[in-house]
Amino acid sequence: MEPVVAPPEAPAPPPAPPARAKRWLWVALAALGGLAAGWGLRALLVERPPPPGPPPEMVRQLAALRDSLARTEAGLAVYGAALDTLDTVVTRTRARFERLRPLLDSELDALESGRGANYGNHRWAAFAYGTPPVRSDSLLDSLRAVGRLVPLGDNSRYVVSILEYSAPFVVPSTRWLISETARRFQDSLAARGLPLYRLIVTSATRTSSRQAALSTVNANAVSSASSHEAGVSVDVLYVQFVYLPRDEDLPTLPPQTPHTERLNRWLEGVYSDLGFRYAEHLDGLLGRVLLQMQQEGRWLVLRETGQPVYHLTRG
């Protein structure tokens, strides 16, 4: 009889969790799942925020730069139009100057060796229409005091340069004649659509002592009695004229043109320069005015060659 062997004992099963804890575990898992699903749905359904852009300061700078660029482009366009206008004005003015005829040889002859060229005529007129010879400053002051000599100052018709050997005084009729000459000269310019220029008087009444002093430095100046000593003669430059700024000479520039005042100053400078460049043409106009006034018996004209002046004596 075989001995009865007892079967080995099976290992004890782990202790089953209690049913209540299991239930809580499921609840927790379900809650976590719900949260995850909600998070996912939110990501899908809620609008995403925009990606972060450049900083606001940079945005402002970019906008300002864009505005500035636009303004510059607009300004350049306006400038271009303004420069076109100015260019047209200068070209047209230059062409009008070109059309002014310089003095012809015959006219030069009439001015240099005509009736007025005889200096004796000037002296005769001086002592017929002028003051007694102004021998001294005190006599000059006396003649001024009684109105025989009147001051000669700058105005819109002419300017009087700094005088070294004469005094800025003449008889009233000579002052009127200078003004009349300049008026006719400027009227001729205006009729041709040109800017206006003023005449330059370089000599007026000389005392005898100053006339003598001048004769030592100027071969043209006579050492004896001169018509300048009687207050009826003046010298007017024919190689230089002074531009007279006027609003009429300035074109209407496009609105919004920046620096209009500077552009206008530039144009006035151009007019000044044109007066120098076309002095020979302006002299043509002045010479013809003087010839006409000589024919009318108003002036005796002598176009000097040693000095670039017209020696004018009341006729």
Partner 1 sequence: MTRLLPLCLVLGGAVLGCREPAPVSPTPSPDRSADSAAVPDSLLPPPDARAARAVLRPFPGHQARGVVTFEEVRGGVRVLAEVEGLSEEGLHALHVLDMRFCLTPDSLRRPVPANAPHFNPDRSRHGGPLALEGERHAGDLGNLRARGGTARYDRVDPLVHLREGRSVVGRAAVVHAGQDDFYTQPGGASGPILACGVIEGED
The site for partner 1 (CB under 8 A) is made up of 150-155, 159-168, 200, 217, 242, 244-245
Q: Is 13 exposed, middle or buried (CB count within 10 Å of its CB: 0-12, 13-18, 19+)?
A: exposed
Closest distance of CB 140 from partner 1, Å = 11
Nearest residue (CB) to partner 1, 102 versus 308: 308
Per-residue CA distances from 212 to 166, 217, 222, 231 (Å): 11, 10, 8, 16
Closest distance of CB 162 from partner 1, Å = 5
Nearest residue (CB) to partner 1, 78 versus 242: 242
d(CA 192, CA 288): 15
Closest distance of CB 204 from partner 1, Å = 9
CA neighbor of 133 nearest in space, from 265, 228, 5, 15: 228
Nearest residue (CB) to partner 1, 268 versus 304: 268
Per-residue CA distances from 310 to 126, 146, 295 (Å): 16, 29, 16
Nearest residue (CB) to partner 1, 100 versus 242: 242
Closest distance of CB 260 from partner 1, Å = 16
Closest distance of CB 136 from partner 1, Å = 15
Nearest residue (CB) to partner 1, 155 versus 305: 155
Nearest residue (CB) to partner 1, 99 versus 259: 259
Closest distance of CB 98 from partner 1, Å = 26
Q: How many other C-beta atoms lie within 10 A of the C-beta of residue 40?
A: 10
CA neighbor of 221 nearest in space, from 152, 162, 166: 166
The b/e string for 238-267 (b: 16+ C-beta within 10 A; e otherwise) is bebbbbbeeeebbeebeeebeeeeebbeeb
Residue where the block lists tokens 């017209």: 310
